[in-house]
Amino acid sequence: MSGFNFDVITLFPKAFELINNLGVITKALDKNLIDLNLHDLREYGEGSYRQVDDKPYGGGAGMVLKPEPIYKAYESIRKLPKSKTLLMTPQGKVLKQKDLARWSTLDQIIIICGQYEGFDERIRCLADEEISIGDYVLSGGEIPAISIINGLTRLLPGTLGDPDSLVDESHNSSLLEYPQYTRPITFKDMKVPDILVSGNHEEIKSWRRRKSFERTLERRSDLISNENYKKSPQSKRIIKENNQFMKFRIGNGYDIHRLVEDRDLIIGGVKLHHPESLGLDGHSDADVLSHSIMDALLGALSLGDIGKYFPPSDEKWKNADSLFLLSKVIDLIRQDGWEINNIDSVLVAERPKIMPHIKLMKKNISEILNIDENLIGIKATTNEKLGPEGREEGISCHSVVLLEKK
């Protein structure tokens, strides 16, 4: 054996004849960088008909791959020290470039190609990972297997003439590749950008990074929002250079309600006890924290205030649960693709003590907004006996939110 080993268990070994004519794989085979070993599942079938599939228990359409031939084929393969087994199935996780990079450090990949309507569940026990190449169903696992062989071979040392060509490829840095041009400079009134023929290599690098970012933002914004990308070393530089293309909105919200008798004191969906048995006056439940967050969310997108959507003149909202109203507001915000980056709120009250209840308030709000509690900041302070809060005439709340377009 020499080089990286691909061992493929398949019903259709002829499907892999095509890849011998693919430039990268042909080169890798010629240079002994890879070994491609095909294991015809029919050779491990049962009986004179070499049966490899059967009807599923419980009934149903189609045939299911039997476990015995798969296990026999698998057990016939010599395993190298650094080896992984992949099962090709539409139920697997979607293949990413980082997966190929991770596997390229191994000695061997064993690929089991699923087929027909599916396979006996016990075959899964052989796999280290289950892989799909997209949210669709193919007749078998041969095409996904070829994709893995091709993509992984390109990453092996010595396969490509210029190793640097891998650096700027799409997905290698979680960004799509920048636009590329070759001769002629002008073609059908379309001209190569001046910067690319300027000879200024630093400016060209900067242009390419910017265009890569723009293209990704336009076509695959999900890659930029990916947490792995945000943590990557190159992301800080790229985001800094392209900050003008990031879409953020900041909103500020404020609410205050009078303290009165015969009303519940509800803040952040938590019922508090006031020493004088006072509560907040309002058309709804007068939850100042929820109201200020709603106003901040609406204000960030210039959508008005909560009175526009839940007017006090409408009896439908009388004594309404403000957390329910908050759920309506966040639905409106998300309709256009905005998500909460973080919230920061300050409650101002002399009494009662709010600090012991903040944890539950954060929990209530995070559940309504469907965001992590760590993205919600809630603080409490007094007003040093000054103003309506200091005279205990009311309780107020200030909130700031940062929204990000996804």
Binding site residue list: 114, 133-138, 255-257, 283-284, 291, 305-307, 381-384, 391
For 15, the token pair is: 């499907």
How far, in Å, CA of 135 to CA of 113, rounded?
A: 17
How far, in Å, CA of 134 to CA of 115, rounded?
A: 16
Q: Which residues contact 53 (CB under 8 A, 6 or more apart)?
A: 63, 64, 65, 66, 115, 116
Positive/negative CA dihedral, 187, 193, 198, 199: negative
How far, in Å, CA of 395 to CA of 389, rounded?
A: 6
Closest CA to 208 of 243, 181, 245: 181
Looking at the DSSP bridge assignments, the partners of residue 249 are: 403
- Cα 40 off chain centre by: 38
Q: Which residues does the annotation place in the binding site for a divalent metal cation?
A: 255, 257, 291
Residue by residue, DSSP assigns 169-215 as STTTTSSPPPP---S-SEETTEE--GGGGS--HHHHHHHHHHHHHHH
118-119/64-65 β-pairing: parallel
Q: Which residues does the annotation place in the binding site for S-adenosyl-L-methionine?
A: 114, 133-138
For 157, the token pair is: 């040392």
4-10/34-40 β-pairing: parallel
- What amino acid occupies position 338? W
How far, in Å, CA of 385 to CA of 335, rounded?
A: 43
How far, in Å, CA of 162 to CA of 170, rounded?
A: 16
Residue by residue, DSSP assigns 263-278 as --EEETTEEE--TT-E
CA atoms within 13 A on the CB side of 46: 11
Is the CB of residue 128 less than 8 Å from the CB of residue 151?
no
How far, in Å, CA of 35 to CA of 149, rounded?
A: 11
